[in-house]
């Protein structure tokens, strides 16, 4: 019998072909893994670049936020100080217009004003000659004059300009400390210049403010005056000329920002003091002609980025090693994948069911053991802790309103018997004793070898507010339907005196009764009753409302002007 090569072809060992296919598959997989490593490297580089940009953006936003917070704080303080100066000026004008200046009384008044503004170091007053006459630390046996001070000269020579002046820090002649003066003039009884009142903020107070700003180990916060002279800075540079009040040791970038005239400027540059490269946000204050500068060192806010770089490189190396090991272990992994397939399918089925019915509280009921783990967030919304409410089906059933238990059981049995999906709205008791309306939805996600359900997954959704809104919509519909008649909405209780309060009246009420809406709201409908109002229909109304039943009666009411009006009342509780 001729062979014709038939049996040769049939008897070719299949294992050889399988080995060839596996080798080809492994070679293709190796190329794929190498490509994956290259793609991973590209993605990693892009991720690091984006991370760098993100750190820069966060630093810029943080610097801006800190500067704006400081601006609001100082501007608010300036507004309070200005109000205090107005009050002090008014008091001085009253004192000088009376029997004469009572220094003891006025000093007490100044102390009281100062105590209301904790930012202030002192409030002092000078007369028309510039001699300081009132305020904390003033010793009249040792006269102090402000006659040569710029604020005094300005207020004296510009009577038509009743303005608040804020000057750069000066060393006080009474206190001996550097402080920022806020000044206003005050006039005598004749309306002429009588002196100035000065309220001062100690430079140390501003330093305490900027010390509270989160700037990192190498950051800086500075406050500069309108001429860009230094007021205070953090950190303190002991012994450095740049640390002196009034210092103008700044970088060229800082000078350019100040010269731009913009309210706020963001730039990056090395410091003119220590050479550290920083992201800088300069903010001009609105109420006070000062600048606040917040500078964050790049080596501070990029430190976490460097750590991220090291971790990313480590992950990249690990990824390469793992992919190489994965290639060598591929054949055993394929077998393990088959074994895990059934279990994964079970998990996927449960989570697909959960995804299909997304809601506020996921739950899973083991119908064999009775365990019923639920979303802790949902249980907490009802007020229960893990100790209060065990993760069991029995514990959950105990919370269902007695009137809803049978409905829930019937709905569940119907579904398990092949009926529609398990879906029911029922009342569930919260920890405070109140009942919340909960929409319960669920589906069987696992069955045993005989087809009997062994596990259900589902979702609980709190629909209480939605139902309440539906009730409100019904109420609104009734109001709209009767909009041409007088409409009054009251609280449901109390029925006893003083009666339920009115919470709403329509325009027809104001037109027909003469009462305004403001007069009615908060009052009770008894405001419309009078001496001839018949108690019989009123008692019938009360009886119906106590039973939460609608009622219709004709009653004699009174308008605001006392006229009698017969009203056909329709009341819906």
DSSP-assigned letters across all residues of 299-365: HHHTHHHHHHHHHHHHHHHHHHHHHHHHHHTHHHHHHHHHHHHHHHHHHHHHHHHHHHT--SEEEEE
| Residue 109 pLDDT grade (very low, low, confident, very high; cuts 50, 70, 90) | very high
Instruction: Look at residue 453 and tell me whether its pLDDT is greater than 80.
Output: yes
Mean pLDDT across 71-91:
90
| Residue 194 pLDDT grade (very low, low, confident, very high; cuts 50, 70, 90) | very high
Structure tokens at 201: 């903020």
Instruction: Look at residue 319 and tell me whether its pLDDT is greater than 60.
Output: yes
Residue 429, pLDDT score: 93
Instruction: Look at residue 9 and tell me whether its pLDDT is greater than 70.
Output: no
Instruction: Look at residue 15 and tell me whether its pLDDT is greater than 90.
Output: no
3-state secondary structure 481-548: HCCCCCCEEECCCCCCCCCCCEEEECHHHHHHHCCCHHHHCCCCHHHHCCCCCCHHHHHHHHHHHHCC
Judge contact between 266 and 253, C-beta under 8 A: no
Instruction: Look at residue 163 and tell me whether its pLDDT is greater than 70.
Output: yes
Residue 5, pLDDT score: 38
Structure tokens at 249: 């040791």
Instruction: Look at residue 100 and tell me whether its pLDDT is greater than 50.
Output: yes
Instruction: Look at residue 357 and tell me whether its pLDDT is greater than 60.
Output: no
Mean pLDDT across 329-338:
59
Judge contact between 95 and 102, C-beta under 8 A: yes
Residue 332, pLDDT score: 65
Instruction: Look at residue 19 and tell me whether its pLDDT is greater than 60.
Output: no
Instruction: Look at residue 260 and tell me whether its pLDDT is greater than 90.
Output: no
Q: What is the mean pLDDT of the chain?
A: 81
- Dump pLDDT digits (tens) for 362-386: 888 998 998 988 887 788 888 888 8
What percentage of the chain exceeds 70 in pLDDT? 85
Instruction: Look at residue 203 and tell me whether its pLDDT is greater than 80.
Output: yes
In terms of average pLDDT, the best of 108-117, 232-241, 495-504 is: 108-117
Mean pLDDT across 402-418:
91
**Dist CA 242 CA 217 (whole Å):** 19
Residue 293, pLDDT score: 86
User: Which one-letter DSSP state was computed for residue 396?
Assistant: H
| Residue 128 pLDDT grade (very low, low, confident, very high; cuts 50, 70, 90) | very high
Lowest mean pLDDT among 42-56, 134-148, 181-195: 42-56
**Dist CA 373 CA 389 (whole Å):** 10
Whether the predicted model's global pTM rises above the 0.75 cut: no
Lowest mean pLDDT among 111-125, 145-159, 290-304: 290-304
- Dump pLDDT digits (tens) for 457-503: 888 888 888 888 887 777 775 665 466 678 888 887 777 777 788 88
Which residue's structure tokens are 């793992």?
322
User: Who has greater pLDDT, 212 or 329?
Assistant: 212
- Within 10 angstroms of residue 474's Cβ, the number of other Cβ atoms is 11
| Residue 200 pLDDT grade (very low, low, confident, very high; cuts 50, 70, 90) | very high
User: HSE of 313 in the Cβ direction (CA atoms, 13 Å)?
Assistant: 5
């Amino acid at each position: 019998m001729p062979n014709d090569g038939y049996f040769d072809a049939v008897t070719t060992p299949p294992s050889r072909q399988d080995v060839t296919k596996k080798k080809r598959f492994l070679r293709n997989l190796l190329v794929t893994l190498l490509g994956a490593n290259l793609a991973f490297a590209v993605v990693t580089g892009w991720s690091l670049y984006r991370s760098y940009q993100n750190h820069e953006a966060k630093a810029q936003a943080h610097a801006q936020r800190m500067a704006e917070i400081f601006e609001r704080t100082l501007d608010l303080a300036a507004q309070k100080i200005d109000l205090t100066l107005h009050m002090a000026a008014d008091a001085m004008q009253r004192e000088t217009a009376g029997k004469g200046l009572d220094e003891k009384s006025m000093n007490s008044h100044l102390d009281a004003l100062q105590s209301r503004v904790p930012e202030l170091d002192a409030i002092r007053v000078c007369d028309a000659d510039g001699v300081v006459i009132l305020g904390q630390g003033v010793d009249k046996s040792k006269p102090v004059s402000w006659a040569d001070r710029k604020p005094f000269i300005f207020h004296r020579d510009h009577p038509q300009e009743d303005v608040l002046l804020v000057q750069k820090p000066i060393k006080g002649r009474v206190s001996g400390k550097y402080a920022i003066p806020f000044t206003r003039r005050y006039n005598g009884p004749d309306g002429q210049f009588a002196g100035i009142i000065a309220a001062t903020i100690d430079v140390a107070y501003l330093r305490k403010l900027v010390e509270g700003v989160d700037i990192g180990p190498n950051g800086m916060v500075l406050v500069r005056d309108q001429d860009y002279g230094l007021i205070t800075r953090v950190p303190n540079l002991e012994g450095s000329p740049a640390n002196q009040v009034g210092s103008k040791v700044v970088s060229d970038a800082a000078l350019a920002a100040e010269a731009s005239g913009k309210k706020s400027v963001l730039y990056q540059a090395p410091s003119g003091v220590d050479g550290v490269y920083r992201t800088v946000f300069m903010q001009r204050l609105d109420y006070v002609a000062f600048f606040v500068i917040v500078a964050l060192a790049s080596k501070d806010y990029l430190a976490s980025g460097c750590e991220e770089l090291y971790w990313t490189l480590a992950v990249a190396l690990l990824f390469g090693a793992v992919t190489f090991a994965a290639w060598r272990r591929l054949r055993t992994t394929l077998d393990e994948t088959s074994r895990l397939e059934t279990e994964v399918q079970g998990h996927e089925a449960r989570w697909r069911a959960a995804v299909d019915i997304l809601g506020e509280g996921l739950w899973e009921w083991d119908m064999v053991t009775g365990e019923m783990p639920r979303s802790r967030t949902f249980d907490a919304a009802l007020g229960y802790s893990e100790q209060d409410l065990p993760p069991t089906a029995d514990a959950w059933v105990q919370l269902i309103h007695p009137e809803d238990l049978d409905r829930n059981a019937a709905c569940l049995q119907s579904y398990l018997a092949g009926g529609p999906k398990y879906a029911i709205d029922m009342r569930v008791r919260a920890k405070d004793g109140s009942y919340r309306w909960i929409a319960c939805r669920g589906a069987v996600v696992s069955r045993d070898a005989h087809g009997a359900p062994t596990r259900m997954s589902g979702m609980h959704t709190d629909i209480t507010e939605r139902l309440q809104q539906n009730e409100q919509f019904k109420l609104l519909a009734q109001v709209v339907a009767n909009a041409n008649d007088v409409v009054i909405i009251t609280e449901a209780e109390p029925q006893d005196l003083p009666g339920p309060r009115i919470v709403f009246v329509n325009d027809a009420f104001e037109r027909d009764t003469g009462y305004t809406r403001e007069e009615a709201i908060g009052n009770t409908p008894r405001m419309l009753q009078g001496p001839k109002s018949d108690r019989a229909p009123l008692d019938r109304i009360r009886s119906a409302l106590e039973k939460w039943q609608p009622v219709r009666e004709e009653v004699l009411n009174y308008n605001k002007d006392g006229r009698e009006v017969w009203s056909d009342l329709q009341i819906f509780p």
